[in-house]
Structure 1
Amino acid sequence: MSTAGQVIKCKAAVAWEPGKPLTIEDVEVAPPKAREVRIKVVATGVCRTDWEHLYEREKGMRFRPFPLVLGHEAAGVVESIGPGVTAFSPGDQVIPLFLPQCQECDRCQSLKTNHCRKNWANTQAGVMADGTSRISCQDQQVFQFLGVSSFSQYTVVPDSSLTKIRSDAPLDKVCLLGCGVSTGYGAALKTGKVEKDSTCAVFGLGAVGLAAVMGCKAAGARRIIGIDINPAKFEKAVTLGATDCVNPTDHKKPIQEVVLEMTQGGVDFALECHGSPSVMTAALESTADAWGLCVIAGWNETETMSVKVEKILMGRTLKGTYFGGWKSVQDVPNLVDEYMANKLQLDEFITHKLPLNQINKAFDLLSSGNSIRTVISLW
């Protein structure tokens, strides 16, 4: 493209400091360096992790430096490539990935994990492999959230944190596969390996939880109990496969006791998709002893979960999942194919569509519980 090798001036939503609304700024995005790709971001989902880092970072999120551009669930088009990049060409449709897959390290070679650590420390700190960001504003460096920063019209990512997808996929839909839907869907299918005719409970019916419900249904679960304190989420949960919906505030007993009574002893699989340590404990204790499996998908970096040893000794299994267990570069294109074949739902998760200059409204909708996913159009 004509902009290759040049600094691109564009719009981005910048977080200047914690607890303050984002502001739309003119930013400069530098050309990609070695093994980097600059992409034109077409659409991005607004994930709760973005909101939490800005407004609740002292609760469950580690500190990351400001100013920064948030956003990590997106889809776009390759604008230009840096030296050494062989897997991408300008014009390719792509999804950036906060979890890399270098396909060379011992973790990428293993079938046991998807936890590649290529450039991990740097992207977690908001910079590229050389220790600097590619985004600047008002003559100062702006850090890149999780190595992505999709609340910018252009961004630069490592080539190991990017996957090419089919050219006919609608970017304003498949962007959701960059985080929330993939995480919940994989928590059920990939990490939990939910079984046919099993009973399941999903704690938290945001985008991750609803995707977990969808995954349980795809696995052939016989009963899927959706649990949330916001009953407005129940209709969507039923649409995606829930057979029962429970509001914990409607009961005097702890929710795990309610689930134990509903299932005469506990569910086979519990999927925690909220991120609260107390909910994690409840999810584990809602499973049947001897074989119950609890998967933690809700994000929390700093707090401690309380587990009674007996709950594990009696045969329960507690597992965590990151990005649903998917090998990001190789598996996300397959998920796109599933959506295009009507085997995986995405449209049902999108409750709002807004332009970039209304990004703070998207945060308000999310924090108030009035949205599942808002998709932001960058253009």
Structure 2
Amino acid sequence: MAETVTVEMVAHEARVSTATVSRIINGSGKVSARRRKQVMDAIEKLGYRPNLLAQSLARGQSMNVGVLTQDMASPFFGQMHQGIEQGFQGSGYHPIFVSEEWQDDKQHAALEVLLSRRVDALIVLGGYIEDDVLLELSGQLPLVTVGREVKGLEGSLSLDNEQGGYLATRHLLDLGHRQIACLAGPDTHYDAVDRMAGYLRAFQESDVPLQRDLVIDALFSEEGGVRATERLLKSGKHFTAVFACNDQSAIGAQLALQRHGKRIPQDVSVVGFDDLPSSAFVYPPLTTVRQSAKLLGQAAAAAVICKLEGKTFAPSRLELKLMVRESTGPVSHMPTHTSIPQQVEQQVAGSSRPRKVRLRMG
């Protein structure tokens, strides 16, 4: 078995005291550049690896950050998790992910699991935990929320989901569509509710009557998108376009439409939300609202590190873009002289705080 390299061995090799080695390893106290180089050269030569557990106990920190997430299997959350991991690289902190698969009756149990690990900070990705619970926790340890805003909590990161839902629906209305189905997400999710609010606002501003029987829950999943679209088709309800509140349900909708002999976009146009990597490679490539889950994750990690270091973090809303691809086109009966937007990318302008709406779904 290889000999364990100790701090004393590093100090002897570098010809400095063990206290100097400890200060350099822990980043505490001032050390001259010459001595720092001596110690770092000795560490590299001997292959010294710090005892992270001992270090964390000495600091009174676990060096772990709890991440309460929604769905480990989701491609969107997978990208966000990757961004969080990248954001913590080189910081000494490590994320611990716990998921409750969108089951609100178990959400607090997941929170208890993280708190029992004595994490130094928390990142909450969406979820249902009450605002007052999060505010109470924020008084005990640094806390950052992603995808929702909590009044009185500094460090909340969000996207303008309401404006994104509006832009997606407005795109379809501009193409001449009037019967636009909406595949909604769970109404307990902030982003799903906000995207629905954008869908409703687009109809209100265009003075186009909203057909509430074309709004149906698709559960933010491919399977949910298939089932919701099949229900619409079997009901005999007429629609020429679909706005799906995430790409997974949009991809499911495209599959169901094609199985029933519908051409996309000649018979039915489809718009999603998220711009997952796979969205550009389904057939036809999906028109969608782009948001960067990876950048959101990186921003969440940066916010937590700032809070842990006692620094001020000023969050800014990340940019959304409408990515127009082959899954959308003019309604079949639309006059040929009607102007069709040709812009491939359209930046979303800022808007007021999304309105929380509830709409009973079919």
| Length-normalised TM-score, structure 1 | 0.35
Greater Rg over alpha carbons, structure: 2
Q: Select the structure that is richer in strand.
A: 1
| Length-normalised TM-score, structure 2 | 0.36
